[in-house]
Structure 1
Amino acid sequence: MKKRIYLTLSDGSIWPGNGDIEAPMEGEVVFTTASCGYPQTLTDPSYNGQIIVFAFPPIGIYGVDKENLEGRRVWARAALMTCLDETEEGRFESLSCWMADNGRPLVSDIDTRQLILKIRECGSMMGRIDVEPHLPEIKELPHTLVAEVSCSEREICGEGELTVALMDYGVKENIVRGMVRRGCRVIRFPHNTAAAEVLASGADGILLSNGPGDPAVLDFEAGEIAKMLGAKPILGVCLGNQLLARACGAKTKKLPFGHRGANQPVVECATGRGLLTSQNHQYAVDGDTLAGTDLEVAYSHLGDGTVEGLRHRRFDALSVQFHPEASPGPEDASYIFDNFVIRMQAAKGR
């Protein structure tokens, strides 16, 4: 049965709603503008540590299709929405039952419009969901977010003539599925695997995955990427883009409220081609720190000029801040995975 629940932000503001909760939940309060794909959003490991506010008014319309999730559990700390539509159809479980099974609060009847406007004005901030409407102190997110979502041992998916070494910083399952569909054998490595072990696997290319949290705390991971530069073609996605930048000596920065949604406009710098992309990131590469790194901007955000992709001038390494696999979102950028396969084939032919 629904009861009164409160979101308290770190600035002391209180936002009442309705739902059910087993225990208080804390996280960074962020919003997404995607109108569909809420099960994929909630299971995306990149949302580990975050409380998601859905901007689209009704959520839960089509239940939960468990066969197409992006993670093996709900990683978001909680979900907030204007209204919850409990439609349940056939094999699709209701959103509220599914969230309850995962022990995650689902809060509806909250004024998400004003809450999102506040985040846009003040920036993302920490929050707590509880049955009590006050909390004087809310802890910051831990530095272990990537370790929590990464696989703990090597895993292999698919078969094919090409082998991809996937560095799992919190990879979305549709990235794995996408590479398997393209005829690749995918070896999934834990986030803290040494470069020597990755290169000894016989992989034809290295894919740096998405993941949660601040890339500045992942010095080991960035250091191992630096050791792999030039050995094999590299493709970085989201956090992988930021780690490639840091591996080459650039820095990253935290955006005020980040980019989350399925309609983020991006331009490919070399061609002027415009793309609608799926995005989920709070941090971005600081373009002012690229001098002397051998990196150039390959993609740029048409809204705020944020660096949305990088290309290495000397080595075969490309990265994007957005998600070519979408899920949810448009598939404008799926050609980036196709090109990665072509790059691996060319390198293997040499």
Structure 2
Amino acid sequence: MKALIALEDGTIFAGHSFTGHGEAIGEIVFNTSLSGYQEILTDPSYTGQIVTMTYPLIGNYGVNPEDMESAAIHPMAFLVKEYNPYPSNYRSTQTLADFLQQYGVLGVEGFDTRALVRHIRTKGAMKGIVSTRDMNHESLIKRAKEWPGLIGQDMVQRVTCREPYGWADNRPVPGTDFSTAQSGMDNPFKVVAFDFGIKYNQLRLLTQKGCRVQVVPATTSAETVLAMNPDGIFLSNGPGDPEGVEGVVDTIKSLLGKKPIFGICLGHQMLGLAYGGSAYKLKFGHRGGNQPVKDLTTGHVEITAQNHGFCIDPTSLPEDAVEVTHINLNDNSLEGMRHRKYPAFSVQYHPEYAPGPHDAIYLFDRFLAMMRR
């Protein structure tokens, strides 16, 4: 089934759908990971985006329920060079096409993904539309241009949980709190995790490291969190522009210095705004499992997984209050920071990434050490 991919600058690619009829509009981005397409699809940080995989063959190990990073698929569409409809993996329970169809997400193959990626790297990430229904080039380009985009939009409200929940037995447990029996009840640390678009593996690792976790909506007030008397506060990843998220920065400001804080990805950016910094949009973002990051506190270089299109400007941070701890070795952008006075630190990348790399899991131990002190 023929499908067209149109970018706002007038560029057109022709492929065909492997999931049937459909149409999607969003920001077209690319991911350089060699594996982990199910984790990418179920990462809420991709809300509002159309994801292109640079690895040429996708679908060869299928999909399984254990590798979900949330309860649904979040990209608007999924673009690949070649789809493999015959997965070979003992853990597979369904094909990628069936998985996409289950959630009504369009999958397109059979076009030059390298050309699309090179175009985005040159021109920057841009708005686009993918369709099997509208074959008119001018119409598609016009509609892509008219889409409002991600800048200034509050995408977190689309993915945050509506009610608090706990985490036990490798699954969400609705309605639990620290006073309710959970798996790992003997774990010494209580952590409140803000859900800006949280990934399940963050909750898995916090639990494995010795925490009881209570997940709360992004709109939860500082007073409500402090009334729960946690040992630490976790700020999760999430989609979109941090400066478009309403109310959260003021909440974080009210929590600084009250409890240890650990932020990841969007949580890192929100923490940076709370410090008084500002954010900017990267040309084409960092998305993949092979980004080199240097820890300036140790001199070690980590290979990291990343998924973000915005970044905190390090020159906007108050130098007397905030220390830069990590930088990206590809472009020297800010990848980590910590407060000089308060127990708070954060990283732009994903130390919890499944299926890997796992170089940065030690950051969860830093969080535990901070709570222990």
- Residue 40 of structure 1 is matched in structure 2 by 39
- What is the distance in 2 between the residues matched to 1:57 and 1:6? 19
- Residue 13 of structure 1 is matched in structure 2 by 11
- Residue 200 of structure 2 is matched in structure 1 by 173
Q: 1:140 aligns with which of 125, 130, 148?
A: 148
Q: 1:149 aligns with which of 131, 135, 159?
A: 159
Provide Cα deviations, 1:48-73, integer angstroms capped at 9, x if missing partner.
11100000010101001221211100
Q: For 1:205-220, what aligned pairs fall within 5 Å after superposition?
A: 205-220=232-247
Q: Does 1:306 align with 2:305?
A: no
Task: Classify the secondary structure of the residue corresponding to 1:137.
Answer: helix
- Residue 123 of structure 2 is matched in structure 1 by 122
- What is the distance in 2 between the residues matched to 1:297 and 1:122? 29
Task: Classify the secondary structure of the residue corresponding to 2:247.
Answer: helix
Q: What is the percentage of aligned positions where both structures have the same residue? A: 39
- What is the distance in 1 between the residues matched to 2:116 and 2:161? 34
1:214 is aligned with what amino acid? D
- What is the distance in 2 between the residues matched to 1:274 and 1:292? 23
Q: What runs of 5+ residues in structure 2 fail to find an aligned partner?
A: 169-184
Contact 1:41 1:328 (8 Å CA) reproduced: no
- What is the distance in 2 between the residues matched to 1:15 and 1:329? 31
Contact 1:34 1:55 (8 Å CA) reproduced: yes
Alpha-carbon offset, residue 86 of structure 1 = 1.6
Alpha-carbon offset, residue 22 of structure 1 = 3.8
Contact 2:15 2:109 (8 Å CA) reproduced: yes
- What is the distance in 1 between the residues matched to 2:356 and 2:312? 22
Q: What runs of 5+ residues in structure 1 fail to find an aligned partner?
A: none
Q: For 1:1-350, what aligned pairs fall within 5 Å after superposition?
A: 3-19=1-17, 20-88=19-87, 89-90=89-90, 91-131=92-132, 132-133=134-135, 134=137, 135=140, 136-138=142-144, 139-141=147-149, 143-158=153-168, 159=185, 160-291=187-318, 294-346=321-373
Alpha-carbon offset, residue 182 of structure 1 = 1.3
- What is the distance in 2 between the residues matched to 1:232 and 1:68? 32
Alpha-carbon offset, residue 179 of structure 1 = 0.6
- What is the distance in 1 between the residues matched to 2:105 and 2:324? 39
Alpha-carbon offset, residue 324 of structure 1 = 0.6
After TM superposition, the score normalised by the length of structure 2 is 0.90
2:345 is aligned with what amino acid? L
- What is the distance in 1 between the residues matched to 2:230 and 2:194? 12
1:201 is aligned with what amino acid? M
- What is the distance in 1 between the residues matched to 2:318 and 2:298? 22
- What is the distance in 2 between the residues matched to 1:175 and 1:124? 27
Provide Cα deviations, 1:133-161, integer angstroms capped at 9, x if missing partner.
42213202362421111110111124322
- What is the distance in 2 between the residues matched to 1:104 and 1:68? 18
2:7 is aligned with what amino acid? L
- What is the distance in 2 between the residues matched to 1:198 and 1:236? 16
Q: Given the superposition, is the C-alpha separation of residues 246 and 26 from structure 1 closer, same or farther in structure 2, using an over 3 Å criterion?
A: same
- What is the distance in 2 between the residues matched to 1:245 and 1:294? 11
Provide Cα deviations, 1:25-48, integer angstroms capped at 9, x if missing partner.
101000000000000000000001
Contact 1:263 1:329 (8 Å CA) reproduced: no
Alpha-carbon offset, residue 21 of structure 1 = 4.2
Contact 2:304 2:350 (8 Å CA) reproduced: yes
- What is the distance in 1 between the residues matched to 2:83 and 2:350? 27
Q: Given the superposition, is the C-alpha separation of residues 286 and 293 from structure 1 closer, same or farther in structure 2, using an over 3 Å criterion?
A: farther
Contact 1:62 1:92 (8 Å CA) reproduced: no
Contact 2:241 2:310 (8 Å CA) reproduced: yes
Superposed CA RMSD in Å reads: 1.3
Task: Classify the secondary structure of the residue corresponding to 1:329.
Answer: coil
Contact 1:210 1:239 (8 Å CA) reproduced: yes
Contact 1:47 1:75 (8 Å CA) reproduced: yes
Q: Given the superposition, is the C-alpha separation of residues 82 and 221 from structure 1 closer, same or farther in structure 2, using an over 3 Å criterion?
A: same
Contact 1:248 1:293 (8 Å CA) reproduced: no
- What is the distance in 1 between the residues matched to 2:72 and 2:345? 30
Alpha-carbon offset, residue 219 of structure 1 = 4.3
Alpha-carbon offset, residue 329 of structure 1 = 2.3
